[in-house]
Amino acid sequence: AQSVTQLGSHVSVSEGALVLLRCNYSSSVPPYLFWYVQYPNQGLQLLLKYTSAATLVKGINGFEAEFKKSETSFHLTKPSAHMSDAAEYFCAVSEGTYKYIFGTGTRLKVLA
């Protein structure tokens, strides 16, 4: 069975600092992995996805994630946080279908 673990339900970073949001997954088949973001009063928006091509995936708004099979990880990073990055971030896994398995989410706070 597939599962996703997001370490840290709340993460705070200073503006301009590195953003690192952790995601570990479990899957019996080669997974598809996703990061979604939810800004206040908005829907879930796809940040980036891994579908077995390049292991380093670049997404929107300067975010990227690296698929590490040996560590079963898909951590999300951004070199320099901006105030507008404050949101809730969700990691998800699927077997290549619509049926996503989501993590519990990480709320990112950016401090001025």
Partner 1 sequence: EAGVTQFPSHSVIEKGQTVTLRCDPISGHDNLYWYRRVMGKEIKFLLHFVKESKQDESGMPNNRFLAERTGGTYSTLKVQPAELEDSGVYFCASSLGGNTEAFFGQGTRLTVV
Tell me which residues touch partner 1 (CB under 8 A): 4, 9, 36, 41-46, 49, 90, 92, 96-105
Q: Which of 17/101 has CB closer to partner 1?
A: 101
Q: Name the token pair of 106.
A: 């990480």
Closest approach of partner 1 to the CB of residue 55, in Å: 20
Closest approach of partner 1 to the CB of residue 101, in Å: 8
Alpha helices in 1-112 (DSSP H): none
Q: Which of 14/61 has CB closer to partner 1?
A: 61
Q: Where are the beta strands (DSSP E) in the chain?
A: 3-7, 10-14, 19-26, 32-38, 44-50, 56-58, 64-68, 73-78, 87-94, 101-102, 106-111
Closest approach of partner 1 to the CB of residue 97, in Å: 6
